[in-house]
């Protein structure tokens, strides 16, 4: 009986875990303050400051001992996302990190972006230290990614084009088709002097500028003006979280 219960609990937790990563509470504000000195920053509109521009979608990166640390902030009633492209075209198996507002609760998803579709991944072992906050439509999250490997060459491991996107959540709580806001040139995300060398894009058609590889200059982009419409959010996630906590308590009391 005891054993059955434990197996059941483990299975239940595994099934719930595939819905999204556990997300800690983010107590700080994601800003531009260390852009260019400590962190590489990419945003749409280029060089925007999220503390003064509510339309600003900002990601910053910094190399850590085992990979890259990310900070992401933007406005959406659904989700904001950063994807890493090895070829400046959004959508070819690009690793995509998604921070969502699930009915006021911050949730996190990992997906592959293919053909403008997000394929949610169950294996999130490359992602850790996720914390996030949601305040109205402002979503902020920080997370660490290990094992990125952009190319065969070790020195180019962190060289990606940064894709910034937003979208809504489907009624089952999963991220729907993203609206790609910008795709940068290929840049070394571990170099703080890398910044928006952006190329204009509208999903799913992506234009690239192969010559825009230097980090110093900034090409301003006309981001797509698609507005994210009202939230369409299911009960799934809060329910999952409640169950997860319940199972956790049960598991502990059983041990
Ligand atoms: C944020 O604050 C809460 C409450 O004080 C704390 O439980 C949580 O661990 C903090 N989060 C982080 C990432 O430090
Ligand atoms: C991409 O998606 C479109 C629309 O869903 C579909 O018609 C097309 O076959 C897909 N292409 C690939 C390569 O999967
Ligand atoms: C993740 O797990 C779910 C449920 O087990 C499954 O339906 C889905 O296909 C899996 N996704 C991937 C990308 O493996
Ligand atoms: C996660 O945070 C812990 C504690 O701050 C730190 O020791 C660890 O290196 C972090 N992991 C990654 C992958 O950054
Ligand atoms: C949420 O945003 C409002 C308006 O920007 C701000 O006044 C408030 O302090 C924020 N709340 C938290 C918990 O940060
Ligand atoms: C990156 O991948 C290539 C090819 O798979 C491999 O040869 C190389 O050792 C990897 N580099 C790192 C740092 O893992
Ligand atoms: C992509 O661009 C090509 C050429 O400009 C155009 O023919 C095609 O219809 C576009 N596809 C979509 C989905 O917008
Ligand atoms: C890129 O630069 C090369 C050499 O400066 C030039 O010949 C080529 O036309 C440029 N390509 C684009 C797309 O601007
Ligand atoms: C989600 O938000 C709606 C609207 O505010 C609310 O009625 C509903 O109770 C919320 N669901 C959960 C599980 O909190």
**If you measure from the C-alpha of residue 208 to the centroid of ligand 8, how many angstroms do you get, rounded to a whole number?**
12
Nearest atom (ligand 1) to Cα of 25: 11
**If you measure from the C-alpha of residue 52 to the centroid of ligand 5, how many angstroms do you get, rounded to a whole number?**
13
Q: What is the per-residue pLDDT for 218?
A: 32
- Is the distance from the beta carbon of residue 232 to the nearest atom of ligand 3 less than 6 Å? no
65 vs 169 pLDDT, higher one: 169
Is the pLDDT score of 211 beyond 50? no
Q: Is the separation of the CB atoms in 189 and 86 below 8 Å?
A: no
Name the pairing type of β-strands 159-167 and 79-85.
antiparallel
Q: What is the mean pLDDT of residues 118-144?
A: 96
197 vs 36 pLDDT, higher one: 36
Distance (Å, whole) CA 234 – CA 246: 20
Q: How confident is the model at residue 205 (pLDDT cuts 50, 70, 90)?
A: very low
CA 194 vs CA 38, 47, 89: distances in Å:
11, 12, 19
206 vs 115 pLDDT, higher one: 115
Q: What is the mean pLDDT of residues 86-105?
A: 92
- Is the distance from the beta carbon of residue 129 to the nearest atom of ligand 4 less than 6 Å? yes
Nearest atom (ligand 6) to Cα of 152: 3
Q: What is the per-residue pLDDT for 237?
A: 40
Q: How confident is the model at residue 3 (pLDDT cuts 50, 70, 90)?
A: low
Going along 136-248, which residue ranges are E strands? 138-146, 159-167, 179-188, 198-199, 201-202, 205-206
Q: How confident is the model at residue 231 (pLDDT cuts 50, 70, 90)?
A: very low
Nearest atom (ligand 8) to Cα of 211: 1
Lowest mean per-residue pLDDT among 6-10, 61-65, 210-214 = 210-214
Closest-CA residue, ligand 7 atom 2, reads 205
Nearest atom (ligand 6) to Cα of 147: 14
Give which of 174, 200, 164, 216 is closest to 78, Cα–Cα. Answer: 174
- Is the distance from the beta carbon of residue 122 to the nearest atom of ligand 3 less than 6 Å? yes
Q: How confident is the model at residue 20 (pLDDT cuts 50, 70, 90)?
A: low
Q: What is the per-residue pLDDT for 222?
A: 33
- Is the distance from the beta carbon of residue 238 to the nearest atom of ligand 9 less than 6 Å? yes
Closest-CA residue, ligand 6 atom 13, reads 154
**If you measure from the C-alpha of residue 182 to the centroid of ligand 2, how many angstroms do you get, rounded to a whole number?**
21
Structure tokens that stand for 219 in this block: 């090409």
CA 200 vs CA 88, 105, 179, 204: distances in Å:
11, 32, 13, 12
Is the pLDDT score of 14 beyond 60? no
User: Percent of the chain having pLDDT more than 70?
Assistant: 67
Q: What is the per-residue pLDDT for 64?
A: 86
**If you measure from the C-alpha of residue 8 to the centroid of ligand 9, how many angstroms do you get, rounded to a whole number?**
29
Q: Is 9 helix (H, G, I), strand (E, B) or coil?
A: helix
Q: What is the per-residue pLDDT for 78?
A: 97
Query: Chain-wide mean pLDDT for the chain?
Result: 77
**If you measure from the C-alpha of residue 205 to the centroid of ligand 7, how many angstroms do you get, rounded to a whole number?**
6
Domains of the chain (ranges; CATH) run: 23-233 (2.60.40)
Q: Alpha-carbon Rg of the chain, whole angstroms?
A: 18
Instruction: Write the pLDDT tens digit of every residue in 84-93.
Output: 998 888 888 9
Closest-CA residue, ligand 7 atom 1, reads 205
Q: What is the mean pLDDT of residues 63-75?
A: 92
């Amino acid at each position: 009986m005891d054993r059955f219960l434990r197996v059941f609990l483990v299975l239940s937790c595994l099934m719930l875990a595939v819905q999204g990563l556990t997300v800690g509470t983010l107590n700080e504000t994601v800003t531009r303050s260390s852009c260019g000195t400590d962190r590489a920053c990419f945003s749409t509109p280029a060089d925007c400051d999220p503390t003064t521009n509510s339309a600003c979608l900002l990601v910053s990166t910094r190399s850590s001992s085992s990979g890259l640390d990310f900070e992401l902030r933007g406005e959406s009633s659904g989700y904001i996302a950063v994807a890493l492209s090895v070829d400046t075209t959004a959508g070819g198996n690009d690793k995509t990190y998604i921070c969502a507002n699930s009915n006021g609760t911050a949730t996190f998803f990992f997906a592959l972006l293919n053909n403008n579709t997000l394929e949610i991944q169950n294996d999130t072992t490359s992602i850790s230290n996720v914390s996030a906050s949601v305040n109205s439509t402002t979503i902020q999250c920080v997370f660490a990614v290990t094992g990125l490997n952009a190319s065969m060459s070790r020195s180019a491991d962190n060289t990606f084009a940064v894709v910034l996107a937003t979208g809504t959540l489907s009624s089952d709580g999963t991220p729907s088709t993203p609206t790609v806001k910008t795709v940068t040139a290929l840049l070394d995300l571990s170099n703080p002097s890398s910044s928006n060398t952006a190329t204009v894009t509208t999903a799913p058609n992506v234009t690239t500028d192969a010559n825009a590889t230097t980090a110093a200059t900034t090409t301003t982009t006309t981001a797509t003006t698609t507005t994210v419409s009202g939230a369409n959010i299911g009960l799934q996630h809060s329910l999952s979280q409640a169950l997860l906590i319940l199972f956790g308590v049960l598991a502990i009391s059983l041990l």
